[in-house]
Structure 1
């Protein structure tokens, strides 16, 4: 600096090379004092440094107090939930571990909501089995006598002839028994069936179900479209209908027989499942019908009605 001052007078009029020689000829100290600039955010420090400079002209104790007061707001804010954007693209958008654990607290509740219909179905089927076999033995002959009021619509042997009315002959015992329970309890409603089932006892329903299950089903006289039936066969295979209704669509346990059933009844039922208005034990058929289009519903119905029961 002293040399600079000494040359200041003669350097005022200096130009070009003479001025550069003076400036670059100065001695540079070993350590140059630099202002302390807070560091940028880094991988392990997502928040930028906010420390005060080491020497700000205040006594050390007073300076430490100011540093503590400046640090408290940063601690109160807590760690960021998301890391700094732009540093590591693979890690961007990841939640902090503490928040991931909080989100997973809802998993048991969600799983319970999913399995509740299945648990309900299991309990109902087990109760139905106990009432059918453990409490009293079903009497098919008693069921025949009790079915006389049903013959007008469903036929004397359970083979209906009225379009839109299902045949009960050959239906699984559990299925018929469960449908009667739903009619009696109001879970399934029908102008003819609801009043009739309202006065049935558990024994009556078991006898009726046993009687109809013992009858031989006959094919219904429906106008089947061969092209639609062929398309329906492919749909039944694609949607794995046989996994519940058996490969011959004869039904089992609480799953009904579809083979040889009335065409109009099948159309009405499938359309009801699609519209979510049909009574469904565990929601399986309602979900299965959602992907089907109007034409596909007709194709499936034609195929089922075309099969020999």
Structure 2
């Protein structure tokens, strides 16, 4: 399926389910105490292998928590944490983190040019489209399609997720979109674009 067609399909599905963003941030705050141990009280992860959640789209957070709960995404820690969450809990947590101000990050200089080339222009030789085609020029994603905010995310987390998609250890991407991309990327390309994404806020102006 073409990227634009999938985006339209996902957007329609989101609009048909307005509860996807109907959580209560205040209720989510009370439920998020245990989450802070890994994701920080301010939504900034305590180590680079964990995701920053502050400012992430509610629809995306809700999808990931639901996938962890239902076994569509597996992680030894998160699967256990999500196992007993109700749909209401998930929506409240998603609303809480979505309402937080997003954190910025800094990219290293080492492979920044390669990372920018991949993000903005794709990898023509491998038939890979620009990352910005779905995630936007500033990495802000698409809340209606539940595509995540990725700018400012720690490079290690982004790199890990791309490699999990490549190995199919992670397989909860609609229509295998991310798996199809990651399978055609080398470690060096993944690490470079992950580094660029970490500091994208500073380069998208």
TM-score, with normalisation over the residues of structure 2? 0.82
Residues 156-196 of structure 1 deviation map (CA, whole Å, 9 limit, x = unaligned):
12111212010000111110000011001001111111111
Matches within 5 A, 1:61-210: 122=10, 125-126=13-14, 129-132=17-20, 137-210=22-95
* 8 Å Cα contact 1:129/1:174 also seen in 2: no
User: Partners of 1:290 and 1:163 in 2: how far apart?
Assistant: 23
User: Is 1:257 the counterpart of 2:149 in the alignment?
Assistant: yes
Deviation larger for 271-280 or 294-303: 271-280
The corresponding residue for 2:136 is 246
Q: Name the residue aligned to 2:200.
A: 307
Q: CA deviation at 1:123?
A: 9.4
Computed over aligned residues only, the root mean square deviation of the Cα atoms, in angstroms, reads 2.4
Deviation at 1:230, TM superposition (A): 1.5
Shift in CA distance, 186/204, structure 1 to aligned 2, threshold 3 Å: same
Would the alpha carbon gap of residues 129 and 151 (structure 1) be closer, same or farther in structure 2, given more than 3 Å must change? same
Shift of 1:124: 9.5
Contact 1:128–1:174, Cα closer than 8 Å, also in 2: no
Judge conservation of contact 1:128–1:178 (CA < 8 Å) in 2.
Answer: no
Query: Could you tell me how far apart the structure 1 residues matched to 2:81 and 2:15 are?
Result: 23
Matched pairs, number: 188
Check if 1:272 corresponds to 2:164: yes
Work out whether residues 229 and 306 of structure 1, in 8 Å CA contact, stay in contact via their aligned partners in 2: no
**Runs of 4+ off more than 6 Å:** none
- Aligned residue for 2:111, secondary structure, equals helix
Stretches of structure 2 that go unaligned for 5 or more consecutive residues are: 123-129
Residue in 2 that maps onto 1:227: 110
1:272 aligns to what SS in structure 2? Answer: helix
- Whose Rg is larger? 1
The TM-score normalised by the length of structure 1 is: 0.56
Bigger RCO (CA 8 Å, 6+ sep): 2
